């Protein structure tokens, strides 16, 4: 039996195992399983891999950056992004990849309709790094909004003025805020300045409409959740997992 899985914490909100189970059923794959492995600390990863003969695993918050220290090789794209969301066994070693950016960039096109609006990425973790890389690949101007990080191209939430939001019409939630079960949490942006010209993209997909997206919809903005991103990156992940089986 070929075994795969997902690490992160918490994982109760994740649909990844459900997606893979459905894909295995649809494709008639009977010799593969995909399970969740919630880790209270990334330091638990070596013991997990020693106990479970996984051929590959996905990585979600909060370990997309920290997991890199536990892998033997990092794909150049993941190295540039600075985050890994998929690891594949290669013999006795592990190699990390990032396919989040593919899921993000490909799904975003349905929201923007071919436009290239300036974008604000809310958050500065691994998901935000993948979003930034995806926007670069799409040729979109972007800036990061963070509560904790400072530096060039990084804004504080207090710096979000009405003038800035007129210039940056695409807002991307790359934080876990609003994820089930804490569904009433949302990034602290000035929602009163949103207009029908704005587009809100939430990498969170459970619930389907987060408080962030609801507030955008109520302002007349176009909205999109992260479900399609999940499906696309899962498809790309499976391609990498298959490479571990040959």
Query: Would you say residue 113 has pLDDT above 90?
Result: yes
| In the block, residue with structure tokens 């914490």 | 9
| Options 3.40.50.1820, 3.40.50.720, 3.30.420.40, 3.40.50.1110; CATH of 101-228 | 3.40.50.720
Burial class (CB in 10 A: 0-12, 13-18, 19+), 131: buried
* Catalytic status, residue 150: no
Domain boundaries, the chain: 2-99+230-243, 101-228
- CA 147, CA 61: separation in Å to the nearest integer? 17
| In the block, residue with structure tokens 């492995």 | 37
Q: Does the domain formed by 2-99+230-243 have CATH 3.40.50.10860?
A: yes
Catalytic residue among 64, 149, 150, 215: 64
- CA 234, CA 166: separation in Å to the nearest integer? 34
Q: 2-99+230-243 and 101-228 share one CATH topology?
A: yes
DSSP 241: H
Query: Would you say residue 246 has pLDDT above 70?
Result: no
Q: Cα angle at 146 between 10 and 41, to 5 degrees?
A: 25
Give the residue, 149 or 148, on which the prediction is more confident. 148
What does the pLDDT look like over 185-195, one tens digit per residue? 999 999 999 99
- CA 98, CA 132: separation in Å to the nearest integer? 13
Averaged over 91-113, what is the pLDDT? Answer: 97
Averaged confidence pLDDT in the chain: 96
CA 116 to chain centre: 21
């Amino acid at each position: 039996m070929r075994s795969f899985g997902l690490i992160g914490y918490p994982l109760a909100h994740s649909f990844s195992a459900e997606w893979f189970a459905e894909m295995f059923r649809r494709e008639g794959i009977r010799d593969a399983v995909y399970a969740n492995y919630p880790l209270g600390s990334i330091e638990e990863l070596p013991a997990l891999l020693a106990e479970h003969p996984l051929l590959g695993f996905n990585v979600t918050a909060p370990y997309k950056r920290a997991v890199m220290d536990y892998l033997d090789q990092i794909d150049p794209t993941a190295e540039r992004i600075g985050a890994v969301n998929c690891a594949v066994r290669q013999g006795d070693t592990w190699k990390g990849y990032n396919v989040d950016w593919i899921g993000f960039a490909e799904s975003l096109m349905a929201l923007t309709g071919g436009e290239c609006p300036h974008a604000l990425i809310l958050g500065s973790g691994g998901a935000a790094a993948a979003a930034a890389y995806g926007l670069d690949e799409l040729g979109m101007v972007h800036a990061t909004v963070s509560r904790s990080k400072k530096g060039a191209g990084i804004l504080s939430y207090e710096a979000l003025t009405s003038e800035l939001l007129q210039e940056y019409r695409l807002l991307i939630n790359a934080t876990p805020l609003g994820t089930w079960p804490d569904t009433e949490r949302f990034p602290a942006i000035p929602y009163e300045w949103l207009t029908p010209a704005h587009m809100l993209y939430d990498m969170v997909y459970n619930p389907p409409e987060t408080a962030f997206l609801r507030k955008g919809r109520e302002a007349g903005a176009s909205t999109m959740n992260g479900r399609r991103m999940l499906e696309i990156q899962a498809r790309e992940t499976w391609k990498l997992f298959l490479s571990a089986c040959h």
